[in-house]
Structure 1
Amino acid sequence: MINDVDPFIGTAATALPPADGLAAAWWFPKPLVGNTHPGATSPLGMVSACAYSGAYPTGYGRYDKGTEGLPEEIFPTQQASGFTHFQQSGTGAIRKYYNYVRVTPMVQPLDDLGEAWPLHEESAEAGYYAATLDTGIRCELTVGEKVAVHRYTFPESGSARLVVDLSCGGLAIDHGRTVPLRAQVESIGHGRAQGTVVMEGVPLSVYLEVSSPDWRQMLWYDRRLVEGGTRLDFDSIRQTTLRPFGLLFMGRALAGQTVEVRLGFSLRGCEQARENLRRECGEPTPSFDTVRAGTGARWADHLDRVRVEGGTPARRTVFATAMYHALIKPCFGDDESPFWPTSGPFAFDVCTMWDIYKTQIPLMTAIVPDRAADLLESLIRVCEEEGNFPIGYRMARGADRFFRQASALAHTALADAHATGLGRLDWSWALVHMEADLRRLYGENFRDDGVVHPITHTLDLAYGHHCTARVARALGDHGLADDLEARSHQWVNAFDPASGLLLDSEYYEGGKWNYSFRLLHDMRARIALAGGDDGFVAMLDAFFGFGAPAVTQPGLHPPPAEMAAGYALNRFEGLNNEPDMEAPWAYHYAGRPDRTADVVHAALTWQFGTGAGGMPGNDDSGGLSSWYVWASLGLFPVAGQSLFLVNAPAFARAVLRVDGGEFVIETTGHRETPIGADGIAETPPAQYVQSATLNGRPCETTHISASDVHRGGVLHLELGPEPSAWGRSARPPSLSDAPAARARG
């Protein structure tokens, strides 16, 4: 699968064919760009490396920060002023930009540092990125988990340079710059140097080696060489006092001469950065090609954990790239926390939990369970050290919790982990923090009043109480479980019984229609509140635009009237918006899995494609790509309930490598995408489950347990071109079998 990955997918403004059928009625208000980058990455590793233009939000690309419609270009061509480390992936509305330690190969004087040159001959694969600068220098990057290695091939030059800028950080947009608070850098021998910069409260250390035996090595400050100096110290730096600083290696270059730069990173000092370089690269330090091969092998192993058969080359490329994007974040730095002294996992770039808890964490739990357990252990440690489970967590002092967006999301992943026996977490320790976190911030009002605004937090907190109750009951604390479960019924206080929708309130990215079809722990009562199956399905049909005319998507600088008219549609925003990700599967609970099949089929067909513009919107740190993976497999994880909903898959056969062996999804009656006489794939047909078996036994329900998947087995689906009776009567589980009374806390 690794050969099918295209890291350039999602790096440019959305450029998909005009949608047809159901998908043509969907309207996307959020930025129409994937916000990914093609740089070198390692699976869930700490370090990435990419060409740096200063564009939003990764530092790569040509776009300014935008909130609606197509993004605005700020550079006419792809360009770079050097190559930086630590990039976001697919985020939107982000406030943490990294791009630390810029390395710039030059044949110009130091005064030209910061100039950006056009990029040519870009190429990328999992673990590798390359481009040629307009100056004629060929640039190649690869990374390990905590290291990066650059290789530069110079044209002939009497005065070639490699400039390392330790003051660089952030983006070239308004309010995008990151300024170091303190810093020190020193030369420690020929071709060797180290330094530490404190960025947003985090001490980032780097140890570097440069293979330039005949080149001079000097420090520089404010673009002037520091003759004879071996160390620079800055005790206090402010926006007004910052002048760039770093290291320079300079000498004559023959045509085709290569120079390697090897960098080890750590959040716990230069000595640990040096050890990280030695641990990953060995001694003597191996070549660029050796590190690249090792990272490529790790990617091949991770990507091979989900294998698919069939499909067009284009669909296989989109699927493989979705798997790749789903395994870039979060970043893991084992034994690297700068905030607590103990060893163990440290996870950052949880950007944000509401982007990843529904799709990406369940994918990690299935195919990289050790890392999923490490993530949860790290989040518990954050809660213990900082007082809250974070909604967003960066490599920065103080958790960027995104409290406006959501509450109590870590509880869903913890409940699933306990139910499936994930890892070796101290569950008594975890439960203490889960229960305490429910009382903080919005939780206080929820506990006192039974409802809280923004109203979506009422749903979050009710669900968090349910998830925590599951863990408490499993641990034998029935008194706590009863109290929490009683409070979990207060989700009904968020709904207007007259409309069957959520109450009017402030909504983050979307409106009450987008949030009204979440998969709650009591969907039977939720559907009854909407008037029963028929009423609920009618609401969903209106939301998804069944029978509605096609709409026009926002372009560049959409006028306010156009946006207001779009919002007034109360329409599915496709997969451009996180609240809508699970809505297609709400049909399952009303006995209409065929409708789920229609919506998911339309999304897979029209919202994803090959090429740089092949994503419908922000990848959200891999949350959207994880959705694509699950939807293609015919499964959807219901976070916090330890179950999967079943749908018609996009591939004839798929195999997940799980802890218990292999979980196989196989089909009969699957129809491949037809190829027209011109050799172009035609619109693929929708397909519907006719019957199912799990490990050879009939499966009448439209769901299976997460344990069924994790222990391995065979799910066989009989598919057909028309809806069937399968799933009409047997519904996924709900907490009650009757409408819930309105509870006031």
Structure 2
Amino acid sequence: MGNTHPGATSPLGMVSACAYSGAYPTGYGLYTKNTEGVPEPMFDRVQASGFTHFQQSGTGAIRKYYNYVRVTPMVQPLDTLGQAWPLHDETAEAGYYAATLDTGIRSEITVGEKVAVHRYTFPEHRSARVVVDLSCGGLAIDHGRTVPLRAHVESTGNGRARGTVVVEGVPLSVHVEVDSPGWRQMLWHDRRLIEGGTRLDFDRIRHTTLRPFGLLFMGPTRAGQSVEVRIGFSLRGCEQARDNLHRECGGAVSAFDGVRAQTRARWRDHVGRVEVEGGSPARRRVFATSLYHSLIKPCFADDESPFWPTAGPFAFDVCTMWDIYKTQLPLLAAICPGRAGDLLESLIRVCEEEGNFPIGYRMARGADRFFRQASALAHTALADAHALGLGDLDWNWALVHMEGDLRRMYGEDFYEHGVVHPISHTLDLAYAYHCTSGVARALNDSGLADDLDARARLWTNAFDPATGLLRDSSFYEGGKWNYSFRILHDMAGRIAVAGGDDAFVTMLDQFFGHGQPRVVQPGKRPDQTVMAAGYALNRFEGLNNEPDMEAPWSYHYAGRPDRTAEVVHAALTWQFGTGPGGLPGNDDSGGLSSWYVWASLGLFPVAGQNLFLVNAPAFERATVHTGRGEFVVETSGHREAPISSDGLEQAPPPQYVRSARLNGKPLDAAHISGSDLHAGGTLHLELGPEPSGWGHRVRPPSSSDPFGTGAHP
């Protein structure tokens, strides 16, 4: 399950909106919570009890699920609020979602950056209503509910209302405008109307004392009559929520079509920053969908931080940094450099305010840092940004935070002992020391850089020389084999630990199952015996775990880009598709989709090293519109997938890079710098059906072999 949703979103915008069933993990859909095996249905039909705002995208067991401010169009009494109706005729486009409830109400939603606009077309009824539930939050699964701590709701008349609910320490404010001439508007509590009341205040709410509450707009409708609900959101109060609404909707009585058109134009601009030519319709559709998913998160709420008073970028839903730092952040840096700079500025501010860089950051008080997953990942994006001249950051101040963050949480033990468990954190921290050293040296602080370099070399403490693999430890998602093939700053040294090129390639071949029998996939509710037997195979899990994203590219460092070509080609061909289940695992806020985008272009970013590895692309020609120019990947000898007599795409054989030219000059290495890509230019790849010696001799740089000679220390 990719765990995405079909709701309305804006590129990197603050607000999303979707039909709400309470299912895991976005609130949309059929399935209950599942982390292993085939997911089990929670419902027997696609259904909704209304339409909520703020959804995760592609996350797994993150435990925090949003789905705030449920809007429900009804022709039933208020005391039935919360029941779900089947959905029919669903339609999803970029920035737009629509469905017809079983009650006959056609429901359409669009969003801007900080607003949502709903349009409901009713059947004829004497008492139609639109109900806004400000108490809604979370999912209908065990421990999935989010309960507001405090709330204020006020009806200001003439189809206007506002309120603030404090959820997970964040004051989420709304300004609501309803186009409903002649309708009554009332407050309600515990599914009962409050006649004549204009405000509700709750100073303290607990799970045991929560009773639903909100607003109601009610009146007669003609068949086919539409009612528009406009909602502005802010994390800084109702007045700013109102200003946000009027800024994006222009004070119009009917704003739906205008907001939809604006968001569609933003999507067309963002998705248009990467163009491909060739490929089958199915492959182009998967590529475009992947690019779309890559641009939903993080959420940017400029001038909206509830935790510090000044203006500037505030980014949240950086929920899966352990995925997105490898693929998605480099993609944003390439095609949305302004937003990438804003994200780093926001993360530095979080570190300044809260004490350390977050590993995951949601719209919630307390960084909810997900520290078990990884350590010190922001350092990679900062190192790349400095090398590329990205953003307008105070780099001396950034370096202070980078260096200080290295000694927090797991970093304290690493600093004292040179190794820490879970053992993957040893690799994280050693790599972060390397990244920080690069920034320090560029800022002419050579003394600090030398000290950092010494600790960066402690990655060796994580490996067992007897096996060439990581030492026994606990691991977050995956096992020793998964994490043993991640790309480090000293791959030449890492390959030497494995016993040299041939031994390293043999281990990788075993991991990817070359010449080995098929693996039986687990079904529903697999028990621990089944899962343990699967992990004991020590096999690649198909991009379903974070370290697996980079493992196919490790072959490059042993002089075997041809093997990379085979594994990546197999993943692109067999693990992604256009239908349900079209992703091989959690999309993780766009991290997995970004992998697909880069792999299809024949590129892989090595985060923190200003480096891209080069491989055979899936398309004949592609153009990446960077902030500084156009980078073109063009091919000769590219072969499209054969089409069968019934019109279906057949599995194409892998293709290999036989030679390359960068801006007209021969390129013998299977890598380029990130600066090459960002500056724009042309990478020409000659492809063929058989491997050549290209990329075998000159290796990507390592800290102990900076010129890629292949001479291992």
TM range (shorter): over 0.9
Provide the rounded CA distance (Å) in 2 between the counterparts of 1:79 and 1:690.
52
Provide the rounded CA distance (Å) in 2 between the counterparts of 1:284 and 1:143.
15
Equivalent residues in 2 for 1:42-121, closer than 5 Å? 42-121=10-89
Deviation at 1:441, TM superposition (A): 1.2
Q: Which segments of structure 1 move beyond 3 Å, counting only runs of 4 or more?
A: 737-741
Q: 1:333 maps to what in 2?
A: 301
Q: 2:467 maps to what in 1?
A: 499
**1:250-273 deviations in whole A, cap 9, x for unaligned?**
111110000000000000000000
Q: 2:277 maps to what in 1?
A: 309
Deviation at 1:95, TM superposition (A): 1.6
- Is residue 407 of structure 2 the alignment partner of residue 423 of structure 1? no
Provide the rounded CA distance (Å) in 2 between the counterparts of 1:740 and 1:432.
34
Q: Which residue, 316, 326, 330 being the options, matches 1:348?
A: 316
Provide the rounded CA distance (Å) in 1 between the counterparts of 2:519 and 2:551.
20
How many residue pairs are counted as aligned between the two chains? 709
Q: Which residue, 234, 244, 256 being the options, matches 1:288?
A: 256
- Give SS of 2:565's match: helix
- The amino acid that maps onto 2:301 is G
Provide the rounded CA distance (Å) in 2 between the counterparts of 1:259 and 1:285.
11
- Is residue 497 of structure 2 the alignment partner of residue 512 of structure 1? no
**1:454-513 deviations in whole A, cap 9, x for unaligned?**
111100000000000000000010000000011100000000000000000011101110
- Give SS of 1:613's match: coil
Deviation at 1:739, TM superposition (A): 8.7
Deviation at 1:366, TM superposition (A): 0.2
Query: Are 2:155 and 2:162, in contact at CA under 8 Å, matched by a contact in 1?
Result: yes
Deviation at 1:740, TM superposition (A): 8.6
Q: 1:176 maps to what in 2?
A: 144
- Is residue 339 of structure 2 the alignment partner of residue 382 of structure 1? no
Provide the rounded CA distance (Å) in 2 between the counterparts of 1:679 and 1:740.
50
Provide the rounded CA distance (Å) in 1 between the counterparts of 2:44 and 2:102.
14
**1:16-65 deviations in whole A, cap 9, x for unaligned?**
xxxxxxxxxxxxxxxxx111000000000000000000011100011111
Using the size of structure 2 for normalisation, the TM-score is 0.99
Equivalent residues in 2 for 1:144-293, closer than 5 Å? 144-293=112-261
Identity of aligned residues (%): 79
Query: Are 1:62 and 1:78, in contact at CA under 8 Å, matched by a contact in 2?
Result: yes
Deviation at 1:286, TM superposition (A): 4.5
Q: 1:536 maps to what in 2?
A: 504
Query: Are 1:528 and 1:739, in contact at CA under 8 Å, matched by a contact in 2?
Result: no
Provide the rounded CA distance (Å) in 2 between the counterparts of 1:420 and 1:154.
54
Query: Are 1:278 and 1:285, in contact at CA under 8 Å, matched by a contact in 2?
Result: no
Provide the rounded CA distance (Å) in 2 between the counterparts of 1:479 and 1:669.
50
- Give SS of 1:574's match: coil
Provide the rounded CA distance (Å) in 1 between the counterparts of 2:220 and 2:313.
44
Deviation at 1:280, TM superposition (A): 1.1
**1:561-586 deviations in whole A, cap 9, x for unaligned?**
22221111000011111111000000
Q: 1:452 maps to what in 2?
A: 420
Deviation at 1:96, TM superposition (A): 1.1
Q: 2:678 maps to what in 1?
A: 710
Query: Are 1:529 and 1:739, in contact at CA under 8 Å, matched by a contact in 2?
Result: no
Query: Are 2:633 and 2:683, in contact at CA under 8 Å, matched by a contact in 1?
Result: yes
Q: 1:20 maps to what in 2?
A: none
- Give SS of 2:543's match: helix
Equivalent residues in 2 for 1:611-650, closer than 5 Å? 611-650=579-618
Provide the rounded CA distance (Å) in 2 between the counterparts of 1:253 and 1:555.
49
Q: CA RMSD in A?
A: 0.9
Provide the rounded CA distance (Å) in 2 between the counterparts of 1:478 and 1:466.
13
**1:623-657 deviations in whole A, cap 9, x for unaligned?**
00000000000000000001100000000000000
Using the size of structure 1 for normalisation, the TM-score is 0.94
Deviation at 1:550, TM superposition (A): 1.1
Provide the rounded CA distance (Å) in 1 between the counterparts of 2:650 and 2:712.
47
Equivalent residues in 2 for 1:16-31, closer than 5 Å? none
**1:400-431 deviations in whole A, cap 9, x for unaligned?**
11111100100000000000000111101100
Q: 2:443 maps to what in 1?
A: 475
- Give SS of 1:300's match: helix
Provide the rounded CA distance (Å) in 1 between the counterparts of 2:493 and 2:146.
49
**1:510-565 deviations in whole A, cap 9, x for unaligned?**
11100001110010011011000000000000000000111121111123322221
Provide the rounded CA distance (Å) in 2 between the counterparts of 1:612 and 1:121.
17
Provide the rounded CA distance (Å) in 1 between the counterparts of 2:626 and 2:4.
28
Query: Are 1:526 and 1:739, in contact at CA under 8 Å, matched by a contact in 2?
Result: no
Q: 2:575 maps to what in 1?
A: 607
Q: 1:591 maps to what in 2?
A: 559
- Give SS of 2:459's match: helix
- The amino acid that maps onto 2:495 is I
Provide the rounded CA distance (Å) in 2 between the counterparts of 1:552 and 1:500.
27
Q: 1:137 maps to what in 2?
A: 105
Segments of structure 2 that go 5 or more residues without pairing to the other structure are none
Query: Are 1:86 and 1:98, in contact at CA under 8 Å, matched by a contact in 2?
Result: yes
Change (3 A) 1:202 1:739: farther
Query: Are 1:67 and 1:93, in contact at CA under 8 Å, matched by a contact in 2?
Result: yes
Q: 1:672 maps to what in 2?
A: 640
Change (3 A) 1:41 1:52: same
Deviation at 1:442, TM superposition (A): 1.1
- Give SS of 1:293's match: helix
**1:200-257 deviations in whole A, cap 9, x for unaligned?**
1000000010000011111101111100011111111111111100000111111000
Q: 1:552 maps to what in 2?
A: 520
**1:422-451 deviations in whole A, cap 9, x for unaligned?**
011110110000000001111111111111
Provide the rounded CA distance (Å) in 2 between the counterparts of 1:120 and 1:718.
49
